[in-house]
Structures are given as C-alpha cells and as structure tokens.
C-alpha cells in the first residue's frame, strides 16, 4: 500500500486484484462544476444532451436537465491516466520470462505492447484495462469494469444554464465576414453531482482512480471546444452495497435547496450553497442502506486527498508507484491467461 493514510481503511480494499467479486465498494462522491463554456453532445449531435426528469425526490414536477453520459465522464479520466502511464515510461512494455520490461528492452521483444489506447488498441494488461475494463478482444475475452457510474444531471433546469452563441467567421483572404455559426453551450458555474463507485480495487488502484479524477479538467465535446470542468470531492464512502444513482443525488440537492428557500431559476447557485447542503443530502440518501457504510468526510477526507496530491507532486515516488501498479496488473493478467489456457 503506497499511501500510509489508507492503512486504517485497509479492510475496505482487496489485498490483490481478485478473480471473483467480493463487493467491496469504495465510492467517490463529487460535484462536477463547469468553469468555462462547455458542449455536452453525443458524437455528431448538434444539440446538447438533455432529459426530462422529476425535479426532486419530493418534487415530482418535470424539468429538463442537461445530462453528461457515463462515457463523457469516464473516457476523459481514462485518457488522463493513460497519458500519465506513457509519460512515466510504462509504455512500451513487454513480458520477458514472466517479468515486465520497459522501454528499449521492451521494443526488442517480439510481443511487446507499444501503447494502450481507446477504443481499439487496449493492451489488456495495464492498470487502465484491468480497472476500467474492455469489451471483447480477440484471444483475450472481455473484462468487466471495476468502476461504475451512470449519467449525471444538472441541478438547475437546462433553459437557464445554456446559451446560444453565434460566431462570425472572418474570411482571412477577403477580410469579409463569412459564415455565421451558432453553438449551444453550457454556461460556466453549472453543477452536476456524481458518484463513481469502485468495486474490489486494491488501495493503490483506488489511488490511481482518484488521481485521474483530480487531474482531469477537460470534459465535453472532443476536439478544440472542450470545456474546463473542476471536480470537487465531497466524500469517500466504503460500503458493501451501491449507494445511490446520480439522478437521485441531483434530485436530493434540488429538494434541499428548494426547502431552504432557494429559487433555482432566479437565484444564483454557488459551490458554497452546495457544500452547505452536501452533508445532509448524503446522509438522507444513505440513511436506509441495506448494508454497512463508512463515510469519510472533513479532515479525514482532506488527509487522503492531500496524500494523493503529494504523491502526484513527487516525480520519483509517482514513477515507482505507477511501475508497481503496472507490475501488479501484468502479473494478474498473466496468471489469468495461464489458468484459462491462453498463456
């Protein structure tokens, strides 16, 4: 275990990557906040993704909300993690006499993994592949993700958090005004509550996932127009059942804010408002859980986040951490392949 701070939570993690589930859930409860204009569309879509849902859990009237699909949340975080693995020399790698070798030495091996990339070139042996999973790959089968999340929803109605912006493209050759294009944007300061639930991760794998969430700042439409999004971690929860859906989380915030006298159409909504209500919202949503729960917030949470930040600031420690994480993943993948007769 790399982070000493996690030693007291040891029983909530698995000591090694497991072959079969034991349902040790560690949920990262967070708020995603747009810090610039952003566009959330599915590929090729002209309009942003929205859904009509009940406003709250105790307010059944329908409102239209901006949605951020699961893939739009997780894919950028996977890319962040993989870029880090590349930066620290995990790719290229090869397996030589049952051991992992890197760099030039790896490239000399016939069967080396030069890279691992979404969606077609997944290597099936790295921490990303083993944590976030992959669809069927020839000769390798498929691997179920040990990280779950679902679509997240804005707290406020879509109509007041979006803006149509027109661009007048100046033709540089003729210096005349050319085509006018219009985009549908999400405005800055939009909050989307979310939970990412990890299942049966080792403590080090959990640190990798948490680091990816904290490092990732660009979400939305791929290409040049991605928006800056800040992830605020509200709590970490250890349990043996899943806690709540992202929609329920948004609806519970809606109820709490409206009951506190907030008008979610006319009044501003700030991070401070949400931080004030977060403890009671999470408490309410987890009060009737059919399972155990250990909630980590406040100073305890800050101690974990601080240790994750310090690890990420220290180049040498981070290099050793990623290498060890990768070696664990590879030796697990080799063992599985051997017992399944693919070794």
| Interface ranges with Zn ion (CB under 5 A) | 116, 123, 126, 128-129
Nearer to Zn ion, 124 or 186 (CB): 124
* CB 160, min distance to Zn ion, A: 41
In whole angstroms, what is the distance from residue 15 CA to residue 63 CA?
45
Question: Is 342:111 a contact under the CB 8 Å cutoff?
Answer: no
- Whether residue 263 is preceded by a cis peptide bond, meaning omega within 30 degrees of 0, is no
Place of tokens 């090694």: 16
* CB 108, min distance to Zn ion, A: 21
Nearer to Zn ion, 113 or 185 (CB): 113
Nearer to Zn ion, 139 or 261 (CB): 139
Q: What contacts 292, CB < 8 A, 6 or more positions away?
A: 239, 240
* CB 198, min distance to Zn ion, A: 17
Rounded to 5 degrees, what are φ and ψ at 341?
75, 20
Nearer to Zn ion, 116 or 274 (CB): 116
Nearer to Zn ion, 210 or 330 (CB): 330
In whole angstroms, what is the distance from residue 278 CA to residue 112 CA?
47
Neighbouring CB atoms inside 10 A of 29's CB total 27
* Closest CA relative to residue 152, chosen from 265, 251, 263: 251
* CB 148, min distance to Zn ion, A: 19
* CB 111, min distance to Zn ion, A: 15
């Amino acid at each position: 275990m790399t982070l000493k701070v996690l030693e007291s939570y040891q029983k909530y993690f698995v000591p090694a990557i497991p072959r079969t589930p034991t349902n040790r859930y560690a949920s990262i409860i967070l708020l995603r906040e747009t810090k610039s204009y952003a566009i959330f569309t599915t590929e090729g879509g002209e309009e942003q993704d929205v859904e009509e849902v009940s406003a709250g859990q105790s307010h059944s009237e329908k409102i239209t909300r901006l949605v951020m699909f699961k893939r739009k949340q997780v894919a950028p975080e996977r890319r962040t993690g993989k870029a880090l693995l590349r930066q620290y020399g995990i790719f290229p790698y090869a397996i030589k006499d049952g051991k992992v070798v890197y760099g030039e030495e790896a490239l000399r091996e016939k069967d080396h993994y030069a890279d691992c990339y979404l969606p077609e070139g997944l290597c099936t042996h790295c921490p990303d592949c083993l944590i976030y999973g992959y669809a069927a790959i020839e000769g390798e089968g498929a691997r179920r993700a040990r990280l779950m999340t679902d679509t997240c929803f804005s707290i406020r109605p879509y109509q007041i958090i979006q803006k149509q912006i027109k661009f007048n493209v100046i033709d540089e050759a003729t210096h005349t005004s050319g085509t006018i294009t219009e985009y549908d944007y999400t405005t800055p300061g939009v909050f989307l509550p979310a939970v990412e639930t990890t299942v049966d991760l080792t403590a080090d794998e959990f640190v990798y996932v948490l680091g990816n969430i904290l490092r990732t700042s660009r979400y939305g439409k791929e290409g040049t127009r991605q928006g800056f999004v800040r992830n605020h971690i509200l709590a970490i929860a250890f349990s043996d059942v899943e806690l709540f859906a992202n929609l329920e989380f948004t609806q519970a915030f809606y109820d709490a804010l409206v009951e506190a006298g907030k008008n979610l159409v006319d009044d501003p909504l700030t991070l401070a408002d949400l931080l004030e209500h977060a403890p009671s919202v999470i408490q309410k949503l987890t009060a009737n859980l059919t399972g155990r729960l250990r909630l980590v917030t406040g100073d305890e949470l800050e101690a974990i986040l601080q240790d994750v930040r310090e690890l990420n600031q220290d180049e040498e420690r981070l290099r050793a951490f990623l290498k060890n994480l990768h070696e664990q993943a590879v030796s697990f993948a080799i063992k599985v392949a051997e017992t399944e007769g693919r070794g």
